[in-house]
Amino acid sequence: MIPILDSKRQYATIGSEVEKAVCEVLRSGSYILGANCKALEQELADFIGCKYTVGLNSGTDALHLALRALNIGAGDEVITVAFTFVATTEAIGIVGAKPVFVDIDEDTFNLDASKLEAAITPRTKAIIPVHLYGQPCDMDVIMDVAKRHNLHVIEDCCQAIGALYKGKMVGTFGDFGCLSFYPTKNLGGMGDGGLIMTNDEKLRDRVIALRNHGGAIRYHHDEIGVNSRLDEIQAAILRVKLPHIKDWNEARRKHAYYYNELFADCKDVQTPKELDDTYCVYHQYTIKIPNRDAVHKMLQERGIGAMLYYPIPLHLQKVHEYLGVGRGSLPVSEKNTDMVISLPMFPELTEEEQRTVAKTVKECIELSKSAAAV
């Protein structure tokens, strides 16, 4: 059995520190928005290289409150991709705005910036580029289009903490960057958590008010907010983990390049391509293969943890039926959806396991071909 992610292996390396930090919180009597949250916000701002961060309940809330802080709501359109996790468009829906989909680039799986301008209408207020699988979007082009059309940019960095575009961290290009600390993310808590990054003090203050019932001063409420505070236990755990994120991301990259080598002799496997001058953090290692569904089933039967991110593109989900964006509208997103498969990827993965994964993937592809021929 080689799982797609084995959180227990990471815990074995930092568990005693985590337990100590959690016990300190338990004994402190301060459980929400205390010293650990404040310290984590500062440490993450330093790591990312942005002025401010605000700790929240989830990555979904980070996206949702970023939109709220920019006053985006009913009647507005927000451009994003259909090849992402549903939280990206859910946040747009929560504020009452409408998602408008742009197709993705065949090789990077990210928003095809050359198609961006055609999707802009007088109602467009913002763009949400998603740095999927830990690969940065083409931010120069996206920011250029945004500036020329006076649009806000909210970067969905939930899968991409620490990724660099031309030497600069993702999350620092737009008005906001959004992080998730869901346990499977590159920097994951042991529960839910999220955070916004921004260089704009006013936007930071607005999110601080929105996360705590719409008021910066206790029991003074200026608008409808939410309860989206990062709890102290999660913040303390994340503070134990943050100093390791660079090494963990490095290990993921090393694994990705080793997989690339292992698949180099297999014409059927399309390995991930990177944009020039980017530092990808491989939240997922995702390849494209023929007979994907058959191969996926065979890998599962052989104990290889392979997953489909994501099995249905968002424009074809029931929740978005009302948009009337049918099959065929986003051909690259649809094609990639049918071909992608993500393989085991986590810092503690061993080279021996990678060799087993690659060998099994190649065998299953051959098997699927003979099955298809019958």
Ligand X SMILES: *Cc1c(COP(=O)(O)O)cnc(C)c1O
CA 282 to mean position of chain CA atoms: 10
- Candidate list 94, 158, 230, 307; residue touching ligand X; CB under 6 A: 158
Three-state DSSP class for residue 137: coil
Alpha helix segments (H runs only) across the chain: 7-28, 35-48, 59-69, 87-94, 139-149, 201-210, 232-241, 245-262, 292-301, 331-339, 351-373
156 binds ligand X (CB under 6 A): yes
Instruction: Give me the least distance between CB of 82 and ligand X, in Å please.
Output: 12
The C-alpha atoms of residue 85 and residue 310 are separated, in whole angstroms, by 7
C-alpha 74: how far from its chain's center? 25
Is 87 near ligand X (CB under 6 A)?
A: yes
Under the binding rule (CB under 6 A), the answer on residue 88 touching ligand X is yes
As measured in angstroms, the least distance from the Cβ of 91 to ligand X is 8
Near ligand X by CB under 6 A: residue from 78, 120, 130, 195:
130
Specify the residue, 165 or 182, whose C-beta has the smaller distance to ligand X: 182
CA triple 51-53-57, angle to 5 deg: 175
Q: Which stretch binds ligand X (CB under 6 A): 85-93, 138-146, 226-234, 354-362?
A: 85-93
Q: Partners of 196 in the beta sheet?
A: 54, 178
Closer by beta carbon to ligand X, 69 or else 364: 69
The region of 31-39, 58-66, 110-118, 315-323 touching ligand X under the rule CB under 6 A is 58-66
**How many residues sit close enough to ligand X to count as binding (CB under 6 A)?**
15
Residue 158 or 238: the one with the smaller Cβ distance to ligand X is 158
- Of 36, 58, 198, 368, which lies in the binding site for ligand X, with binding defined by CB under 6 A? 58
Among 133, 173, 182, 285, binds ligand X (CB under 6 A): 182
231: contact with ligand X by CB under 6 A? no
Amino acid, single-letter form, for residue 136: P
CB of 256 to ligand X, least distance (A): 18
Measured CA to CA in angstroms, residue 231 lies from 156, 164, 213 at distances of: 22, 28, 16
| Encoded tokens for 137 | 């979007």
Residues 191-230: x/- map of binding to ligand X (CB under 6 A)?
A: -x-x------------------------------------
Closest CB to ligand X: residue number: 59
CA 253, distance to chain mean position in Å, is 16
Q: Which residues lie below 8 Å from residue 41, measured CB to CB, with a gap of 6+?
A: 52, 53, 54, 55, 195
Give the binding range for ligand X (CB under 6 A) out of 154-162, 220-228, 310-318, 341-349: 154-162
DSSP assigned state of 76: -
159 is a site residue for ligand X (CB under 6 A):
yes
- Candidates 52, 83, 85, 346; binder of ligand X (CB under 6 A) is 85
Partners of residue 287 on adjacent β-strands? 341
Report, in Å, the least distance between residue 247 CB and ligand X.
Answer: 22
Q: Using CB atoms within 10 Å of the CB of residue 177, give its burial: 0 to 12 exposed, 13 to 18 middle, 19+ buried.
A: buried
Q: Of all residues in the chain, what percent are helix, strand and coil, respectively (each to 5)?
A: 45, 15, 40
Q: Rule CB under 6 A: say whether 360 interacts with ligand X.
A: no
- Residue 131 backbone zone (phi > 0: left; psi -120 to 50: alpha; other: beta): beta
Handedness of CA 347, 21, 171, 56 (dihedral sign): positive
Residue 48 or 364 with smaller CB distance to ligand X: 48
Cβ nearer to ligand X, comparing 58 with 234: 58
Contact residues for ligand X, defined by CB under 6 A: 58-60, 84-85, 87-88, 130, 156, 158-159, 180, 182, 192, 194
